[in-house]
């Protein structure tokens, strides 16, 4: 079944939060009215793409993840994504073409820490060139690459961009760390 553009936006937004979320938070994030978002979230729940989680919270289901084209991540994949990479595969931060900052990230966790301190000019430079997505894909993390692509579509900048990027990467690292510790579960 094909999703309308608004239903897809609502589903992507719930997924982007990476945790159970209230419809009011989704509405605020995407700039739609609460009744509109609530109606779509109820519809997505009936379709099996969302499920209720506690009182008033929603989370994405395996079917919802599949509708967005997200791969399943198991223990081994999580371990691979979180591993340190050789220095030649690290992410090197630049302010612009030919202007390296002399700062690099050698793992996803390291990237998460560095993004808090790096100049926002560098963050914007890399985001709008697609560099973050390319590096995340190189780590084998298509899901995080897709989340970053959605951030780019929202045209954030400055500290708002830094905050959103940090939140998404940190939340994703935490989810992967849980999978890494418990081999019997998978991010579906």
Q: Is residue 140, in this structure, part of any structural domain at all?
A: yes
Kindly report, residue by residue over 41-53, the tens digit of the pLDDT: 999 999 999 999 8
- For strands 58-60 and 91-96, give the pairing: unpaired
Q: What is the pTM of this model?
A: 0.76
d(CA 56, CA 68): 23
Res. 162 pLDDT band, cuts 50 70 90: very high
40 & 92 share domain: no
Q: Is residue 60, in this structure, part of any structural domain at all?
A: yes
Q: Determine the average pLDDT of the residues in 119-130.
A: 96
Domain boundary among 43, 67, 91: 67
Instruction: CATH number of the domain at 28, please.
Output: 1.10.10.10
d(CA 84, CA 15): 26
d(CA 167, CA 64): 21
* Residue 186 C-alpha from the chain's centroid: 17
What residues are paired with 93 via a beta bridge? 103
Decide which of 179 and 7 is more confident: 7
Cβ atoms of 116 and 166 closer than 8 Å: yes
């Amino acid at each position: 079944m094909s999703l309308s553009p608004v239903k897809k936006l609502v589903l992507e937004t719930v997924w982007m939060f990476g945790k159970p979320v209230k419809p009011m938070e989704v509405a605020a994030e995407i700039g739609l009215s609460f009744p509109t978002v609530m109606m779509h979230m109820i519809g997505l729940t009936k379709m099996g793409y969302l499920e209720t989680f506690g009182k008033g919270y929603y989370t994405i289901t395996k079917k919802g993840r599949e509708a967005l084209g997200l791969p399943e991540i198991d223990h081994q994949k999580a371990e691979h994504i979180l591993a340190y990479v050789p220095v030649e595969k690290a992410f090197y931060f630049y302010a612009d073409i030919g202007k390296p900052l002399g700062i690099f990230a050698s793992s996803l966790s390291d990237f998460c820490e560095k993004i808090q301190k790096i100049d926002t000019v560098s963050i914007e430079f890399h985001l709008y060139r697609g560099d973050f997505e390319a590096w995340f894909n190189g780590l084998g993390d298509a899901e995080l690459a897709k989340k970053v692509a959605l951030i780019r579509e929202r045209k954030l900048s400055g500290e708002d961009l830094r905050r959103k990027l940090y939140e998404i990467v940190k939340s994703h690292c935490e989810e992967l760390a849980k999978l890494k510790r418990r081999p019997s579960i998978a991010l579906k």
